[in-house]
Structure 1
Amino acid sequence: MSFLTPLALIFAGLSIPILIMYMLKLRRRDVLVSSTLLWRRLLRDREANAPWQRLRRNLLLLLQLLILALLTLALARPFVPAPTVVSGSVVILLDSSASMQASDVAPTRFDAAREAAQEIVAGLGVGDVATIIAVGPQPRLLASPTGDRAILRRALDNAAPTAGPADWEAAFALSAGGLVGAEDVRAIIISDGALPETLPPLPGEIRFVGVGGGSDNLAITALATREGAEGPQAFLRLVNYGESDAEPLIEFSADGVLFDVRRLPISAHNSAALTLTDLPYDMRVLQAQLSTEDALPLDDIAWATHTPPASGRVLLVSEGNLFLERALTALPGVELVRLSPDQLVPDEDYALYVFDTALTGTLPSANLWLIGPAVSSGGSFTATTVAHVAADDPLLRYVDLSDVHILQAHAVEPPPGARVLVEAEGGPLLFVAERSEGRLAVLTFDLRDSDLPLQIAFPILTANLVDWLLPRGGLATIAGEGWEGIRPGDPVPIPSDPEATEIRVTAPDSTRHVLPVGEKVPVFAATDQLGLYLIEQRDRSDTVLQSAVLTVNLFDEAESDIAPRASVRVGQTEITAAAREEEGHREFWPWLAGAALVVLVVEWWTYQRGTIQSR
């Protein structure tokens, strides 16, 4: 055992004055009397009040010396060496994503991670400071840099896991601000290791503390509906991340009423798909739920809304493209009109114009889909290997472009505010944009210069783009864009009705949120719960003008794959969970101070008891 402030031991010298006070007594004047028979008590007092006398056993003296000893030791701050993960200026990144709610570690991974963080806080030494950041869909600063372990422990006690993925990039940016300029800085990541591999480096040393013990988990990773030839259809994808085969029971409910139960065999580390074609024709909300229990229940249930398909007349200007024509005519509600490039575009209005040809004249002010447009100032490029795909965008839902080969593409500059969905090394291959005159989708290569029409992705991409391009009204506009693709924490813009004065959103836990209607499009950001959100637009008389249902699902394979990782990659460095331990200090002066207080109470009680008896 050692002492952090050994100079405080000099207070032990206060025991000398205490002893002297018990040895030094008052001296009184001698008086001659005729007999001591009546003065025996006085003689006893005389002996007791001699200037110096031998110390006798005295309980109060022992208690007072014990109090002094305990307080002196507490001021000296004794400690014993203890292993600790970090010291100095520490930033603790506590994973609070959905996968941390897995129960393969009792009670959950998050509780195990919080306990590990508590141990780190307990091992902080003199001068050490710590910052705690909870890494969820929106990283939260739980505790600013402080050396007060009580504040740090309280922050950890109040921490809670979320139901969404972790935004590690934002968390790293937040933590980097606290590490810059500090000395002896360290960052410690407490997680099951489901981190992206493209994280930027952090200043200082980085440690990784892993949690988790198993990988058995079944997850619904996709659920969507569409209008088929004979009514609504549903598509479900299930993934088995476990080590053994499974055949779970899946319950399907339409608007809260159970209507079908299916078994879906699925092998280990594999996926399986299921298509339902006998859905109720008037269904509004579809729910799928696994009846099999596993380590992570968050991805055992999913919801999807069904919106009537967009419909309208579509004008196709093309020299002849059988694959494109078949993909368009297969869409329900689409009335296709074909036109060759040498024919004049009629004056009548169409809901969507598809130009599968070179552009030679003025484009109509409407919704447009341009395929292989040749731009005189742009030229073309042959570096068409796909470099980036916006896989999270609803327009690319279930679209796999990994095996698509393209001979060449036109160099087209996307307009301001456009979303580039697919990009090659030479430039964008697919982008979309919102314009005042209508929506725009541009496929920068000719379909005849690629094998995309031969891929299963082509009819799916066509359906997604046409569904987005065809006009809808009110809340159905957003619902048709794939509200099923919203994940926890995603902000949702809600177009308002011209007569609406407020938008009311009821969350899955029945919490109500009211959004004011103004010049800007209202944005609802409190999507931190999984489930159904009811959106209502109301006028001044509180009449519901429009209503829609918003679904928030996990649908994140990185979170559902709960197999713990042995290492994480930060920058160019691979960091394993076997971090070396440092020598820390485990102090116990609070226990000594508490013991001194208890002895003080005993001393006071003993003194009061003796005083009362002497009376």
Structure 2
Amino acid sequence: MATELSGVGLGQAGMLAFLLLTLPLIILYILKPKPKKVRFPSVMFIEMLLRKSRFRNFLERIVKDPLLLLQILVILLISAALAMPYAILRVPGIEDENIVIVLDASASMKASDVHPTRFARSVAIADEILSKSTPDSKASIILAANTPALALSRSSPETARQVLKKLSASDASSSLNDAISLAVDFKSDELGNSVYVISDFNDVSGIEASNSILKHAGFTTEWVKVSGGGENIGLTESVLEHNLLDGSVFISVAAANFGGTRECAVRIRQNGNVIDSKNAVCPGGGSTFIEFNIPSAGVDRKLTVSLEDGGSLPVDDNVYLFVPAQKKQKILLLGAEDSNKFLKLMLQSMPDVDLTVQVPPIIPKPYEFDVVILGEVEPSLILPGTFRDIQSHVQEGGAFIAVAGDRIWAVDSPNFWNMLGLSWLEYREKASNVRVVQGHPSVKDLTLDNVLVEKYFLPNVTKDHTPLMTADGMPLNYIRRDGEGYAVFMGLNQEPEFSNFYYSSSYPIFWSQLLEYLKTGREAGETYNYPSGSLLLLSSPQYVGTPSGVWINSSRIILDEAGFYSLPHGSAGVSLIDLAESNITGGQIDLLMDADGFFAGSAMVSREFHFQNILLTVVLAFIILDVSLYVRRGLV
């Protein structure tokens, strides 16, 4: 980069000295004694001509006297030296400054299209910047991860170089603009401020706005793009569902192709062994869904869904799924001997349900069961304290389902109504269609077009209730949280005298999904498997093992490594499931400088170059010359 002249300077003292020293010298030369003139008649006509050009002779007298010119030049140089002249030049280099390095540590920085990886190349660039900074500079490092992290604050460049060696990219996406905004907090009032943002800039949205914010805050900015433009295919979606009806596991993954059309091979491995595989054509620029049905195993399983030869980003080639053993759900059904026939048949047909049917008043202890269901029963047979025990069990994590029968209104236990969050019920005898309230996992994929109710109860719902189905536009079934557990009210009774719900193909599906939800409070598979970058919240600080073998004792853990975590009560699979992160082609705006064209110290800095010593050296040389001329003329 060429040197640029930014400005020059000359003090007023030098100009004043020039005038004070030069003018007397000229006057001295004009007024010094004149030699005696002798007139000769033969040259008098020449004198007449000279008198006509006295002004011209005055100038010639000054100009033609080399000693006068030399002495004026010496005075001029001395005057300039006294003024301490200088020039301001813009030259390549790094001066003492406050350096803030924002380093992208997202999963896409692990791409190998830049050798050895994008992140390793970024660390090398940051190290080069720091190595060429001055010892008195200050350096801060901000890691742009899922949550911006401050790796170093206002330390020496040498310390920053040591910190760089310990940094690594995560397996999650990052919020680059949030990290850039954090850089403003590290502005220095004593030094010049520079921000170096080093990233692959997969997402360039907001970058120009961030640049404006930094400029307004007084920072100079460098935006270094590290990317090889490699092609990639990644697994960007996954679904895991349990089928309570047969115990199998449904797995679906989406392979997104950001390159040309090619064949994709997907394998499912358990303990390193392939247990299922499928091939599919993955068109360029699109996503292909690949589905598997894995038989029930009866034990906890760690399954890895792998995309063979996925491209430049290995971290999105695998989806890690922890599949817990399907333990039988213990269910207690309270009802009269000859009632709840269809409900009992349906529950008994589920392979993962251990059903106990009990006729009040004598019933087992509620805490011995996962779910307690109140069916058609005479309320007067239920002993005092029964619903108190059931509510206590629910608040500690159990579940209770009340199926509205003819005599439900006669239940006089406050615990029963408090548990359901109800103050009254409206009884109707009117043929009505049943409609699903979309959004809850228990009613997903239900078809109720032909389901009619003849008799039903409409509850007074509040904001604490989540409606599942409606009749006449009013909530019919709902679920609510009570302590750590759930209470469900079903105004839709499945017995023939109430409705034809028992005849619908959606009847067992609804109960299967509802019971699965009551196990965990979430959709099937969600509890044990997370996208990378998720925050795991525990009730208290506990030891959790990461996929890399590090144990963390905390109640708040960011899951930023892909693989299997060891939890206090099982395992969790964590995978990079992020369409934007898998698209490593990157964006482009004018601000960005390619890493190959960037070198530390390329920034132009202002330097003052003073000429006083040079001028004094020249003055000394002219004085020596002046003295030598005087000697030659015999004036000394």
The TM tier, using the shorter chain, reads 0.5 to 0.7
CA distance in 2, matches of 1:126, 1:471: 57
1:288 Cα deviation after fit: 1.5
The residue number in structure 2 matching 1:559 is 581
Deviations 1:363-416 (A, max 9, x none): 84798699xx99xxxxxxxxxxx9xx9xxxxx889989xxxxxxxxx996569x
Matched, 1:291 2:308: yes
1:311 alignment counterpart: 329
Which residue of 2 is the match for residue 301 of structure 1? 318
Secondary structure, aligned partner of 2:185: helix
Within-5 A mapping of 1:245-324: 245-268=261-284, 269-278=286-295, 280-282=297-299, 284-307=301-324, 308=326, 311=329
Query: Which residue of structure 1 aligns with residue 470 of structure 2?
Result: none
Q: Name the residue aligned to 1:81.
A: 91
Partner of 1:529: 561
**Residue in 2 aligned with 1:230?**
246
Question: One-letter code of the match for 1:436?
Answer: G
State whether structure 2 residue 196 is matched by structure 1 residue 217.
no
1:205 paired to 2:215 = yes
1:154 corresponds to: 162
Q: RMSD of the alignment, in Å?
A: 6.2
Residues 468 and 480 in structure 1, CA contact (< 8 A), matched pair in contact too:
no
Shift of 1:95: 0.4
The one-letter code of the counterpart of 2:163 is A
Return the alpha-carbon distance in structure 2 between the equivalents of residues 397 and 175 of structure 1: 46
Residues 442, 514 of structure 2: 8 Å contact kept: no
Q: State the alpha-carbon separation in 2 of the partners of residues 313 and 366 from structure 1.
A: 22
After superposition, give the CA deviation of every residue in 1:391-443 in whole Å (9 maximum; x if it has no partner).
xxxx889989xxxxxxxxx996569xxx9xxxxxxxxxxx998642634799x
Deviation at 1:483, TM superposition (A): 2.1
The answer on whether the counterparts of 1:223 and 1:302 sit within 8 Å (CA) in structure 2 is no
Runs of 5+ in structure 1 lacking a partner? 5-77, 316-325, 375-385, 390-394, 401-409, 420-430, 443-457, 497-502, 516-521, 537-546, 568-574, 588-615
Query: 1:483 matched to which residue of 2?
Result: 528
* CA distance, structure 2, for counterparts of residue 460 and residue 576 of structure 1: 55
Residues 270/83 of structure 1: CA separation in 2 closer, same or farther (3 Å cut): farther
Offset at 1:312? 5.6
What SS does the aligned partner of 1:491 have? strand
Q: In structure 2, what residue type is equivalent to 1:159?
A: L
Quote the residue 2:361 is aligned against: none
CA distance in 2 between counterparts of 1:309 and 1:116 reads 53
| Pairwise CA distance, 1:234 | 2.8
Alignment partner, residue 154 of structure 2 = 145
3-state SS in 2 of match to 1:164: coil
Partner residue, 1:54: none
Q: Distance in 1 between matches of 2:441 and 2:204?
A: 21
Indicate if the aligned counterparts of 2:375 and 2:403 stay in contact, CA closer than 8 A.
Answer: no
- Give 1:558 shift: 2.6
Summarize deviations over 1:215-240 as a string: whole Å, max 9, x none: 42222531524234222213121222
SS in 1 for 2:146: coil
The Cα shift of 1:96 comes to: 0.6
Deviation at 1:122, TM superposition (A): 5.9
Question: What residue number does 1:67 align with?
Answer: none
Give the counterpart letter for 2:527 in structure 1: G
- TM-aligned CA distance change 1:586 to 1:107, over 3 Å: farther
Take 1:107 and 1:87, find their aligned partners in 2: how far apart are those partners?
Answer: 32
Check the 8 A contact 2:232/2:582 in 1, yes or no.
no
The alignment's TM-score, normalised by the length of structure 1, stands at 0.52
Tell me the TM-score normalized by structure 2. 0.51
The residue type paired with residue 563 of structure 2 is G
Please give the per-residue CA displacement for 1:134-185, whole angstroms capped at 9, x wherever unaligned. Answer: 1123433233235x44334333343321222224475356334224978865
Amino acid at match of 2:575: N
1:102 corresponds to: 111
- Cα shift readout 1:486-536 (whole Å, capped 9, x = no counterpart): 52463341679xxxxxx65443334445x4xxxxxx626274432223335
Q: Secondary structure at the match of 2:268?
A: strand
Counterpart AA for 2:159: I
* Distance in 2, Cα, partners of 1:369 & 1:242: 51
CA distance in 1, matches of 2:517, 2:351: 13
Q: Give, in angstroms, the shift of residue 133 of structure 1.
A: 0.6
* Structure 1 residue aligned with 2:518: 469
Aligned 8 A contact 2:105 2:145 in 1: yes
On the 8 A contact 2:545/2:567 being kept in 1, the answer is yes
Q: Which residue of 1 aligns with 2:179?
A: 171
Query: For residues 443 and 208 of structure 2, what CA distance do their matches in structure 1 show?
Result: 30
Amino acid at match of 2:122: A
**Structure 1 residues 471 and 224: alpha-carbon distance in aligned structure 2, compared to 1, 3 A threshold:** closer
What is the identity, as a one-letter code, of the residue corresponding to 1:271? T
Question: Could you tell me how far 1:258 is from its partner in structure 2?
Answer: 2.8
- What is aligned with 2:538? 493
The structural deviation recorded for 1:484 is 0.3
C-alpha separation in 2, matches of 1:200 and 1:507? 37
Describe the SS at the equivalent of 2:548: coil
Q: Distance in 1 between matches of 2:351 and 2:200?
A: 44
Q: Is the 8 A contact 1:138 1:489 kept in 2?
A: no
Structure ID, larger Rg: 2
Partner of 2:503: none
- Supply the distance in 2 between the matched residues of 1:368 and 1:227 (Cα, whole angstroms): 28
Cα 1:559–1:332 change in 2 (3 A) is farther
For residue 87 of structure 1, report the CA deviation from its aligned partner.
9.9
Q: 1:325-382: CA deviations, max 9, x gaps? A: x9xx999649897989xx999877596456899x999784798699xx99xxxxxxxx
Alignment CA distance shift 1:480-1:237 (3 Å): closer
Higher helix share: 2
Query: In structure 2, do the counterparts of structure 1 residues 396 and 115 end up closer, same or farther at CA, with 3 Å as the change threshold?
Result: farther
CA contact (8 A) 1:172 1:200 kept: no
* Residue aligning to 1:191: 199
Give the corresponding residue for 2:592: 577
- Alpha carbons 2:532, 2:561 under 8 Å: kept: no
Structure 2 portions without partners, runs of 5+:
7-87, 334-345, 356-371, 427-437, 446-459, 467-477, 490-506, 607-636
The Cα of 1:254 is off from its aligned counterpart by: 3.0
* Partners of 1:99 and 1:562 within 8 A in 2: yes
3-state secondary structure, aligned to 2:262 = coil
In the TM superposition, what is the alpha-carbon distance from 1:103 to its structure 2 partner? 0.8
Alpha-carbon distance, 1:577 to partner: 2.2
Q: Look up the match of 2:547.
A: 508
Identity of aligned residues (%): 18
Whether the 8 Å CA contact 2:247–2:351 is kept in 1: the answer is no
SS of residue in 1 equivalent to 2:201 = coil
Which secondary structure state, in structure 2, belongs to the residue aligned with residue 294 of structure 1? Answer: coil
One-letter amino acid of the structure 1 residue matched with residue 528 of structure 2: W
Return the letter of the residue paired with 1:529. Answer: E
- C-alpha distance in 2 between matches for 1:397 and 1:180: 56
Contact kept in structure 1, 2:242 and 2:524, CA below 8 Å: no
| 1:160 partner amino acid | S
- Whether 1:132 and 2:141 are equivalent positions in the alignment is yes
